[in-house]
Amino acid sequence: MAADKLDLLRRVIIDERRGAPLHLQLRRALKAIIDDHFEDGELFWPEVVIAESLGISRGTVRQALGDLARDGLLRRHHAKGTFVIKEVAGPAELQTVGLFIADHTSDFLSTMLQRISEVCRAQNLRMQIYHTHGGDQTATAYRQVERGPESEGILLMVEPLTAAELYSAFTDRGYRTVCIQPDASAYHGPFVETNATEAVILGVDYLVGLGHRKIALMVNEPDLATSVIEKVDAFRQRMAEVEGAEPIVVSCGTQFGQSSYDAAYAAMESVWDTAPTAIFAVSDPGAWAALKWFAEHRIDIPAQVSVLGFEDATHNRYMFPSLSSIAHPTLQLAEEAVKLLLENRQDHVRVHPAIVVRDSTGPPRSDK
């Protein structure tokens, strides 16, 4: 009987200082009690008993019980009360993929939207896009989702801190949640991403194979981003293995939220002062800035210096000269992300990059 288990309820601790909304804390605590101490069909505590035992509002309790009912753990009858459900059921089949995206646009984001849409259509899934805006509270963002966790899975393509907050909020409510290209220092859930170490090694080996030894890594993204730290470490380690190599790392001082193109353009004089035969930018906007600066200073590419990007944005092929770049395997990223959702796996999936060679790279000049 539920009355015999009141001591379990009274030991539950709900505290606003924990950061998560009270109803999510309560939902998680009640679910643990149901899993360990209640039988299928057993009468559960009434809303008023829970509220009085914990000293919280009935509105908070109502939200938590509503979430548990949508999760299939409780069945609420207006006249008879609330009952526990522990019937064995097959895994829920998702019908919708909810995609949270940042309020800024990029070529990579646009391409990923297209790829995820293609994958969803192929699997008869509906795709729903949600936007996060700078300054929004996490609670405001996740309340956009109206469908329950039994029918909708969540993909995140947002800033690192927002990804971590949304992951916590959605998993607390029972949603399957996966992040695409996260910053691992803040986010600890399942994710898919391009293997940054492999990408840098691929780029360095290509440039070294052309004959370059004095290669400058242009760090035009924030230095503290985990993926950037990984790229810099991989660059230093790979260049250390090359006989006669002269590795150069130039930080553009880019801050989170700042234009990586503008930061790179402002740093180009410092980059060129190092006299590299090749520049490898950690993202395509840095390479775009280099192409513009070199064109303005009448420096011939690739005769005087090669330029290699990272991302392979769609319009790289239309630049002059067309930009060589390390490519994100966008279709595979989309396929793996949706697969993690459908299979409800907690994996970390790193996919292999590819190199796209165009006109901005070539052998170094013999007198350089």
Range of the domain at 41: 2-84
Residue 90: pLDDT over 50: no
Per-state percent for the chain, helix, strand, coil, to nearest 5: 45, 20, 40
CATH number where 212 lies? 3.40.50.2300
| Residue 19: per-residue pLDDT | 58
> What mean pLDDT do residues 244-269 have?
94
Q: Are residues 162 and 250 in the same domain?
A: no
> Which range among 97-111, 275-289, 337-351 shows the weakest confidence by mean pLDDT?
97-111
Among 125-134, 179-188, 273-282, 359-368, which range has the highest average pLDDT?
273-282
Residue 89: pLDDT over 60: no
Say how far apart CA 74 and CA 79 lie, in whole Å: 15
Give the position of tokens 């008993």: 49
Say how far apart CA 66 and CA 50 lie, in whole Å: 14
Q: What percent of the chain lies above the pLDDT cut of 90?
A: 61
Q: Establish if 334 belongs to a structural domain.
A: no
Q: Are 190 and 347 contacting, i.e. CB atoms less than 8 angstroms apart?
A: yes
DSSP one-letter code for 63: H
Phi/psi of residue 246, each to 5°? -125, 80
Q: Establish if 285 belongs to a structural domain.
A: yes
Q: Are residues 145 and 258 in the same domain?
A: no
Q: Are residues 226 and 308 in the same domain?
A: yes
Q: Are residues 318 and 221 in the same domain?
A: yes
Q: Establish if 345 belongs to a structural domain.
A: no
**DSSP for 285-332?**
HHHHHHHHHHHHTT--TTTT-EEEEEE--GGGGGSSSPPEEEEP-HHH
Q: Are residues 55 and 67 in the same domain?
A: yes
Q: Are residues 149 and 181 in the same domain?
A: yes
Q: For residue range 200-245, list pLDDT tens digits in order.
A: 999 999 999 999 999 999 999 999 888 999 999 999 999 999 999 9
Q: What is the pTM of this model?
A: 0.73
Q: Establish if 351 belongs to a structural domain.
A: no
Say how far apart CA 327 and CA 317 lie, in whole Å: 12
Peptide bond into 353 cis (omega under 30): no
Say how far apart CA 242 and CA 132 lie, in whole Å: 44
Q: Establish if 42 belongs to a structural domain.
A: yes
> What mean pLDDT do residues 52-70 have?
87
**DSSP for 79-110?**
TTEEEE-----PPP---EEEEEE-SS--HHHH
The residue that leads in pLDDT, 193 or 133, is: 193
| Residue 135: per-residue pLDDT | 52
- Per the structure, the count of domains in the chain is 3
Say how far apart CA 257 and CA 267 lie, in whole Å: 17
Say how far apart CA 122 and CA 97 lie, in whole Å: 13
Q: Are residues 202 and 218 in the same domain?
A: yes
| Residue 76: per-residue pLDDT | 77
Among 84-88, 147-151, 189-193, which range has the highest average pLDDT?
189-193
Q: Are residues 184 and 203 in the same domain?
A: no
Reported confidence tier of residue 368, pLDDT bands at 50, 70, 90: very low
Helix 330-343 vs helix 107-122: angle between axes, to the nearest 10 degrees? 50
Q: Are residues 226 and 256 in the same domain?
A: yes
Q: Are residues 205 and 185 in the same domain?
A: no
Secondary element (H or E) of residue 233: helix 226-240
Here the contacts of 227-234 (C-beta below 8 Å, separation 24 or greater) are 227/181, 227/183, 227/184, 227/193, 227/196, 228/282, 230/196, 230/197, 231/196, 231/197, 231/199, 231/200, 231/282, 231/310, 232/282, 233/197, 234/196, 234/197, 234/200, 234/201
Q: Are 349 and 340 contacting, i.e. CB atoms less than 8 angstroms apart?
A: yes
How much is the mean pLDDT over the chain?
Answer: 89
Name the β-bridge partners of 191.
179, 348
DSSP one-letter code for 359: T
Q: Establish if 31 belongs to a structural domain.
A: yes
- Among residues 194, 225, 244, the one where a domain terminates is 194
DSSP one-letter code for 159: -
Residue 334: pLDDT over 90: yes
